[in-house]
Amino acid sequence: MANSSALADLDDSGRPPERAVVNYDYEDPAYRVFIDSLNYLKPEDIELVCAAYRFSDEAHRGQKRLSGEPYVTHPLAVAGALAEWRMDAQAVVAALLHDVMEDTKVDKARISERFGKEVADLVDGLSKLDKIESRSYQDAQAENFRKMLMVMARDLRIVLIKLADRCHNLQTMAAMRPDKRRRIARETLEIYAPIANRLGLNNISRQLQDLSFEHIYPMRFRVLTKAVSAARGNRRELLSKILEGIHGKLAEEHIKAGVFGREKSLYSIYRKMAEKHLSFSQVLDIYGFRVVVKDIAACYLALGALHARFKPVPGKFKDYIAIPKVNGYQSLHTTLIGPYGTPIEIQIRTQAMHHLAEEGIASHWRYKDSEESGADLQNKMHTWLQSLLELQSATGDPSEFLEHVKVDLFPDEVYVFTPKGKILALPRGATVIDFAYAVHTDIGHRCIAARIDHELIPLSAELANGNQVEIITAPYANPNPAWLGYVKTSRARSRIRQFLRGIQQDSASSLGERMLDQELQALGVTPAEVPATVWERIIHESGGKTRLDVYSDVGMGRSIAAVVAHRLAEHHDMPQHPARATAPLLIRGTEGVAIQLASCCQPIPGDPIIGLLRKDQGLRIHTHACRAVRKSRSTEPQNWVRVEWEPDPGQFFEVRIKVTAKNVIGMVGRVAIGIAESGVKIDQVTMDRKKPGLFTDVHFQVLVLGRSHLASLMRSLRRVPDVVRITREQEPS
């Protein structure tokens, strides 16, 4: 290319000044190889890419990487990766310019003017990924991923450029501080490599994993590299024998196929060793084989032929052609017993499947004129991204969002069927609840039971490949907070949390209204007589939208009821009534999540109680004798609320009792019978694990109506033979 400046018209407010003598070496071999790789583009597109290179070189002139190389070598390498994927000219140009907005004074307007709005938007999207203003690295990582999602949803080319950028950075991090290298490598393993895998970019995913492994564990990487190299030599004869056997059998059956060996990536070998506690010599499947045939029918013919030649390992066959992975991957996987009893992993696929397996979403650009699978995959990815956008809007908090999405980025799938035969892919370990939410949010909210293969099973049951799942719903059922302990999918977890937050909001609003009404009455103000204009002012000052927001802030401890009541009562036209002492708040024990009975002291009707209001935790009810109350009663007096039990709440309450008895056979059974005969339900039983002696302690959690019911139970138990002592436990044992 001609060595003329592409930026001669840039002014000194944002661009480098024009030089009288321009001495670029555009005949650099790396640049020439890059230009030669663009032969799939039109001549005018190649000219645009050349202009972009000159623009980038001028903008970054004088800047060097930590390795000492000119900075432009980095965008050139990133653009080269995109050229290998045969991406369009706009993506290649954006790759060349991806750092100019961050590292130089060139702005978006200038890029748009010179290379068009599409390129400017791509570069702007890439630049925004690096603008993080967060208090911690974890927050920064979460926010960065959230931004990446937003730009991915707009244009998938942005994430392809970002992955190529990250890959080249990992290849050239030798001059960086070790701690920074490890931090970047860990982030790559947690976020970027899984994204590449989710987009079907297997080649770059493996590269990112191995490069990250090298930076995190350099010594282990070197040792494993040496071991694999040695094994390669030792097993050469075995591999040749297997290849000959595969070729021979396929030729016998007149199946035309390309057969080649593949070596497991170093990181996948290391991960298998770590997860299964194996030594290197115990990892037998370091090598695998791929068989590429002309069409789907030939895939199954090849499978049958190889199963006739080598014995298959039971349970090790997977048909990803009939049921593709969520990232579009298709192949037949089988494990066979080869010569000398060595297991052989074989993947059988068509040429189109092979392109998709290696290049994923990028194959849409490389093969878009001849393949439909890339376009199908792009549609699937957009659907996935759209579901993540919905999840992000429902979650709000970037850290919580990242926690949810990491589940989707490691999808070791199980495939299950609806009663109508529809296939759903879920992460391994997914439960019936995950399935219900995958079908529809309302199905998840209303599910009460399920059948797997026509048998009733608990909602916490894990699903297995091939299960047919039928969900049983009830119109008045609601999500249980306990579900969060075993759901696996981000969709189910976020929907449950969203529902519970809504319940908490309603419960907090109800509590806040009761507390505020009592404070207003204590000031001589009738709540119904507070003018709407006063309420509007209070709502505006609190940053809320409705009166319910003010009530919710009071109920969740974000605002103090007495303070809000005084502000409401300040209006001079408000009718005044005789003030009276604030009445205690009446507690039933079933108010909802905004009012909780403290687990430390487990108050029950009849106990003297007091309420502790903490920000974003609602009201916690304690007994007067609780240690938590004794320790902090004198501090933060504005957080303590007078409460009393409602007469006859009419429900059961949890309480712990400790029974000390002689350590004899049948003692626990006799005590349990005594509890049952008192009309009390046992919720939980535990025994001390200390060395058995003459006496032992048995801890029961039981359900009682109140203090008098508990007293009756304890009197009854004292008549049980072998019982020495009974006490109520008001602190965790």
Decide if pLDDT at 109 tops 60: yes
Contact 547, 564 (CB under 8 A): no
The domain locations on the chain are: 29-219, 221-371, 584-649, 653-729
The pLDDT, as a whole number, for residue 7 is 40
Q: How confident is the model at residue 575 (pLDDT cuts 50, 70, 90)?
A: low
- Model confidence pTM above 0.95: no
Q: Which residues are catalytic?
A: 102-103
Contact 448, 477 (CB under 8 A): yes
Q: How confident is the model at residue 271 (pLDDT cuts 50, 70, 90)?
A: confident
Q: How confident is the model at residue 372 (pLDDT cuts 50, 70, 90)?
A: very low
User: Which of 226-235, 585-594, 623-632 has the least mean pLDDT?
Assistant: 585-594
Domains 29-219 and 653-729 share a fold: no
Vertex 701: Cα angle to 695 and 707 (nearest 5): 105
Q: What is the pLDDT of residues 667-684, one digit of tens each?
A: 888 888 888 888 888 888
Decide if pLDDT at 104 tops 50: yes
Q: How confident is the model at residue 495 (pLDDT cuts 50, 70, 90)?
A: confident
User: Which of 130-144, 428-442, 530-544 has the least mean pLDDT?
Assistant: 130-144
Q: What is the pLDDT of residues 122-176, one digit of tens each?
A: 888 777 555 444 445 566 666 666 666 666 667 778 888 989 999 999 988 888 8
Q: Residue 420 burial (CB < 10 Å; 0-12/13-18/19+)?
A: exposed
- Rounded average pLDDT over 391-400: 58
The Cα–Cα gap between 679 and 696 comes to 25
- Rounded average pLDDT over 354-370: 61
Q: How confident is the model at residue 25 (pLDDT cuts 50, 70, 90)?
A: very low
Decide if pLDDT at 563 tops 60: yes
Q: At a CB cut-off of 8 Å and minimum separation 6, what does 462 contact?
A: 429, 430, 431
**Structure-token pair, residue 699:** 């801890």
Give bridge partners of residue 127 from the DSSP assignment: none
Top-confidence range, 274-288, 330-344, 358-372: 330-344
The pLDDT, as a whole number, for residue 23 is 37
The pLDDT, as a whole number, for residue 642 is 80
Give bridge partners of residue 414 from the DSSP assignment: 426
The pLDDT, as a whole number, for residue 410 is 53
- Rounded average pLDDT over 250-269: 86
Decide if pLDDT at 460 tops 60: yes
When comparing pLDDT for 272 and 398, which is higher? 272
Chain-wide mean pLDDT for the chain? Answer: 79
The pLDDT, as a whole number, for residue 657 is 92
Q: DSSP assignment of 118-154, as one string? A: HHHHHHHHHHHTT----SSHHHHHHHHHHHHHHHHHH
Q: Does domain 29-219 have CATH number 2.70.98.10?
A: no
CA distances from 558 to 33, 534, 552, 567, 615 (A): 63, 20, 8, 16, 5
Q: How confident is the model at residue 443 (pLDDT cuts 50, 70, 90)?
A: very high
**Structure-token pair, residue 450:** 């399920």
Q: How confident is the model at residue 405 (pLDDT cuts 50, 70, 90)?
A: low
Angle between helices 266-276 and 202-216 (to 10 degrees): 70
Q: How confident is the model at residue 239 (pLDDT cuts 50, 70, 90)?
A: confident
Decide if pLDDT at 63 tops 80: yes
The pLDDT, as a whole number, for residue 303 is 93
Decide if pLDDT at 40 tops 80: yes
Contact 485, 496 (CB under 8 A): no
Reduced to 3 states, what is the DSSP secondary structure of residue 692? Answer: coil
Q: How confident is the model at residue 403 (pLDDT cuts 50, 70, 90)?
A: low
Whose CA is closest to 606, among 633, 646, 641?
646
**Structure-token pair, residue 4:** 């003329």
The pLDDT, as a whole number, for residue 146 is 67
The amino acid that residue 417 corresponds to is F
CATH of the structural domain 653-729, one choice from 3.30.70.260, 3.30.930.10, 3.40.50.2000, 2.60.120.260: 3.30.70.260
Tell me which H or E stretch contains 386. helix 373-395
Query: In 331-343, which positions are buried (b, 16+ CB within 10 angstroms) versus exposed (e)?
Result: bbbbbbebeeebe
Contact 212, 185 (CB under 8 A): yes
Q: Are strands 258-263 and 332-337 parallel, antiparallel or unpaired?
A: unpaired
Question: Residues of the chain with pLDDT > 70: what percent?
Answer: 79
Domain 221-371 homologous superfamily, CATH: Beta Polymerase, domain 2 (3.30.460.10)
200: left (phi over 0), alpha (psi -120 to 50) or beta: left
Q: What is the pLDDT of residues 608-634, one digit of tens each?
A: 888 887 766 667 888 888 877 776 666
The pLDDT, as a whole number, for residue 210 is 92
The pLDDT, as a whole number, for residue 343 is 80
